[in-house]
Amino acid sequence: MIFLGCDGGSTKTELLIADESGRILAHRVFSGCNYAFLGRDGFAHHMENAISSVLSDAELSPADLTFSLFGLPIYGEIPETEEHIPAILTAILGGAPYRIVNDSVVGWGGALGGLPGISIVAGTGAIVYGVDPAGNESRVNGWSLLFGDEGSCSWVGREVIKAFIKQADGRLPRTALYDVVREEFHLTHDLYFSKILQVDCRDDSSFVARLQMLALRAFERGDETMRAIYERAAGELAESILTAKRQLDFPADEPVRVSGTGGLFKAGEIVLAPFRRLVEAGGCTFCTPRYSPAVGAVAVAAKDHLPPEALTRMLDAIDAAL
């Protein structure tokens, strides 16, 4: 059996072909494949080039693939994607079997090896995806960088902005954060921060997320007010996890496996400690992610074709080879 997995995103598209033993037949990384950015024709051209390239590397045709899994951004979030993307992939694959999922699913597949549990990605945004032993699915959060994605780096960045503005006004006492922000943007006047808000935040969707690092820098300078922001972020993430758990059916006598990836967790114990405490109090156990999302895409492609033990052996072999 031969499986193709695609971890698609806005910045990169990673394709991996492997057989059931875990032997990698082809592996390539291309530029991003976000349909919203590329449009229908641009997406079609991009995916045709990517898929044909890895098939050529593996000396395979689409008919040789047992199953393919495509994790793609914004799939299922914009109505036309559910019509146009399948039509495009069907034309490329010529009838070979495949499935399309939102990219959060391959994050889960990598973090938990395609086995039951709940995964959270807390990076620029925050999204939870979980699967129970019966195969029921749940997705929570991930609605909007501006209006949702609570607990993400963007959410922490928004809290940094609010804290700095209030400290600049005198509505809150000034802490290390005030100095960190002024130093970061070389502000000679507090009101010059308005340019950051009105230009930089508008022109770069990931800009606010990067402000999370200023909260961490301020905390490392002794600003204990930042601890409260990270604890609230952990609470938001745990709430999303436990909401997904309530929507699924896990055995009552054992904890649910939870794994998390993304830039927010790189802040370390300031967010991990309260997050672990909250999810464990809710009947979960936190575990380190097992594989990358690209390996996760292969895991989701193969999980209905291989028993759990064989699936794990295959994924371990792929992971060791990468």
> What is the per-residue pLDDT across 50-96, written as a single tens digit (0 to 9) for each?
999 999 999 999 999 999 999 988 887 788 888 899 999 999 999 89
Average pLDDT of the chain is 89
Its domain, for residue 25, covers 2-113+290-321
124, 211: one domain:
yes
CA-CA distances (angstroms) from residue 165 to 154, 172, 173, 207?
17, 9, 11, 17
Residues in the chain: 322
As a whole-number percent, the residues of the chain with pLDDT over 70 amount to 98
Q: The domain that contains 310 carries what CATH number?
A: 3.30.420.40
pLDDT (average), residues 149-160? 90
Q: Quick one: 180 and 266 in the same domain?
A: yes
Same domain, 17 and 27: yes
Write the pLDDT tens digit of every residue in 99-126: 999 888 888 888 888 789 999 988 878 8
**Residue 32 pLDDT exceeds 80:** yes
Q: How far apart are CA 144 and CA 126, in angstroms?
A: 9
pTM: 0.79
**Distance in angstroms (rounded) separating the CA atoms of residues 18 and 20:** 7
Q: Examine the domain organization and report whether 94 and 145 are in the same domain.
A: no
